[in-house]
Structures are given as structure tokens and as C-alpha cells.
Chain A
Amino acid sequence: MALSEHQRSELEKKVRAGEVVLFMKGNRRFPQCGFSATVVGILDKLGAKYETVNILEDPSVRDGMKEYSSWPTFPQLYVRGEFVGGCDIVKDLYGSGDLQKKLGVEERPVKTPRITLSAAATKAFGEASSDAGGDVLRLEIDPEFNCDLHFAPKADGDLEVRSEGVAIYVARASAGRADGIAIDFVKGASGMAFKIDNPNEPPRVKPIQAKALKAMLDAGSIELFDVRPEDERRTASIAQAKPLDGEGQSLLATLDKNKAVALHCHHGMRSRAAGEQLLREGFTNVYNLEGGIEAWSRDVDASVSRY
């Protein structure tokens, strides 16, 4: 697609709508993709002033900017009308300090994070690094708190953290999110894997399978609420679930905010949204029955009718 003169000048206006303009998926509060979220996180950390353009709202801008920048993906960062790059490049420039210079911001000092390693993790890292060649153990944690622990060449700006004699290089943009984490090496569903406990991570709605929920209910360690309306509850219901009607709401309000609470609906979508609301209200230990009452009927109690 070649851009017409008119299209080009319209895009030029958007590019120059501010000193710093980020063309991204979503907006700064709700980035719709991890790469956009990463760039927003870096700009926010630097305290940069910037405008955002949500390219998902306008296909002509989305297609046009690919052509205008000769760059087929988003986000795209512009500073004073000049294309800087996408997510990788922004991270790279941030690590080297060049982004700070381009944006004319002073970087606040970044504190070297503290990391705790278990004995098993220390041993596993020791063994893995012996055949890593010139690569170092790097840790990146994106704004959605997804951790990426990998062997790679050291990048500019990486912060070296030594724990139990192991050197871990933390990407500069991840430093705040990495402070205080604990790394263990444990047996998981598909063999041994690193497990990272991150105290900085905000609570999330945790998925729980029907059988695991049944065990917790039997042990009396969790309260289960049904978020469906009355007509659906009449069709089928789980005996231990309390409807989240007026009475259920009152009960919920009396619970300790750290108490384990599970929610269910028909397939697990409505209850997930309700769970996110509970987190906003301050609950910290919220579970969502994966697959809803349908999964309960299939995996736990076939006498619950499916609809």
C-alpha cells in the first residue's frame, strides 16, 4: 500500500502531535499487548511526557503507520517527529542511557534489586552456566509480571546481582519489579522448573480445577460463591456454593480479606470478571473455577445437570 500525499500529511500531523508520541495497542492505562505495555512502563518510569495513539481504534492509522515508519509492528515510538523504534530498541536504548538523552530526562537512580536463591536453584544455575559460553543469566520481568529467566549476552544497563555466588543480570527496566524476589527450582507438571515468588506482583484471580476446589471445600479451607442469576441456579447448582445474592454479598462483606474465596458461573467467564472485582475490593486470595459448573459436573459430580 503506497500512501497518498494526503495520507502522509495526516500521519505526519499525528507523529508531530507532541514531543513524544507512542503508537500502541490500547492506551497507557490499558495496554492491549505486552510489547506496548513494556514501552509504556519504561516511559512512565522515566517520568517522560508522552502522547499515545491507539492504533486498534483506526485501521487507517494502523496500516498507514506501518508504511510511514517502514516498520510492520507496534508499538512505534516517535520523538520530535523522528522514528526511534519498537519495543526491543526502546529497551536497548533505555539500558544504554541513550533513551534518557533523547527524551531529555534525568534518570532517577535505579536500586539494585535483592534476589534470594534456594539451594536447589543455586545448584541448577551453577550446572547450567558451565555450558553457557559467554552468555550470562539474565532476568526480565515485564509490566504484567511475566518472568523471563534466560542465558543471553549481557545487555547495556543490566544490573548485576550476586546471590549465593551466582551472578544474575537484571534488565534495567525490570529492576523495580525484581526487588525481593525468591527463586526456587522445583518439580512441576513437566519436569523440573524454576519457580519465582515475586512479592511485588499484585494479586491475581487464580484458576482452580474442579477436583482441587472440591478438596479445598471438603477441608473447609475455602468459601465458594455462585455468581449466576437465580434462573440458572435453579437449572443446576453446586451444593456447597452460596449464591452471590443479597445474603451472599453480606456474608462476603464479613469475611477476612485474606480468606480463600472461589467463584463460579456456567463456564468461568463471568466469575473471572467478578473475581477481578473482588481483588479491587481488597480480597487477596481469589480463585475462579475453571470451566465453571460445567467442569464440576464433568469432573466431580455428574448428578449436577449440564445445560
Chain B
Amino acid sequence: MSDHATDFAGDVCAAIREAIAARIPGARVEVTGGGGHYSIDVASAEFTGKSMLANQRLVYAAITHLMAGDRPPVHAVDRLTTKGE
């Protein structure tokens, strides 16, 4: 797990949390994982009444920069949940 190739230095979980919180103010974000694979659970009023596609897109848009390039810190999102509240 630790041999995932990336040039990113720092706490990836924290970077994901911050990026989502910046895009969706007030969202409650939980991130677990490592080695390029992460699980992300987000709860926000922003999601209520919208499709799963729209909600996941919103989250993905927030972390696109962490998934781009040849050696991104986030290689795969193993689980992404979006919950309205």
C-alpha cells in the first residue's frame, strides 16, 4: 500500500477533506484510506433532492486536481457516499 507512486507530499486524507469542504461549505466529510485508495463519505444539505450522479460529480469536481496526472495522490476512490441532511 505504501509503495503507491506519487509526488504529493503531505496528508492526502486531509487534502481531500479540505478540498471538499472548500467546494461544499458546511459539508461533513469523512475520509479513510491510504496508498492511493480512499473512501469518502460526505453529508451536506447541498445533496438533498439531487441525483446521485449530480452529487458524486460535485464531490469529484472538488478533488479533480488530486486525481489528475500520471502520479496523482488519489489513484482510486473505493467508496463515495453522498448523504443529504
**Chain A CB within 10 Å, residue with most, of B60, B61, B80:** B60
Q: Which range contains the number of B residues in contact with the other chain?
A: 10 to 19
Residues of B within 8 A of A84 (CB): 53
Q: What residues on B are CB-neighbors of A72 within 8 Å?
A: 60, 63-64, 67-68
Secondary structure of the B contact surface, majority rule: helix
User: Within the complex, what minimum Cβ distance (angstroms) separates A175 from chain B?
Assistant: 21
For the complex, give the distance between the alpha carbons of A72 and B63 in Å: 9
**In the complex the two chains form, what is the Cα distance from A85 to B80 in whole Å?**
13
CB-defined interface of A71-110 with B at 8 Å, one 1/0 digit per residue?
1110000000001111011001000000000000000000
* Contact present for A92 and B52 (CB under 8 Å): yes
Tell me the minimal C-beta distance from A95 to chain B in angstroms.
11
**In the complex, chain B residues whose CB is within 8 Å of the CB of A73:** 60, 67, 76-77
Chain B 48-74 interface residues, beta-carbon cutoff 8 Å to A: 52-53, 56-57, 60-61, 63-64, 67-68
A258 CB–B CB distance under 8 Å: no
* Most interface-central of B53, B63, B64, B68 (chain A CB within 10 A): B53
Q: Is A70 in contact with chain B by the CB < 8 A criterion?
A: yes
Cα distance, A85 to B77, chains bound together (Å): 14
When chains A and B are docked, how far (Å) is the Cα of A1 from the Cα of B63? 15
Interchain CA distance A1-B72 in the complex, whole Å:
14
Instruction: Show the binding face of A for B, using Cβ within 8 Å.
Output: 1, 66, 70-73, 83-86, 88-89, 92
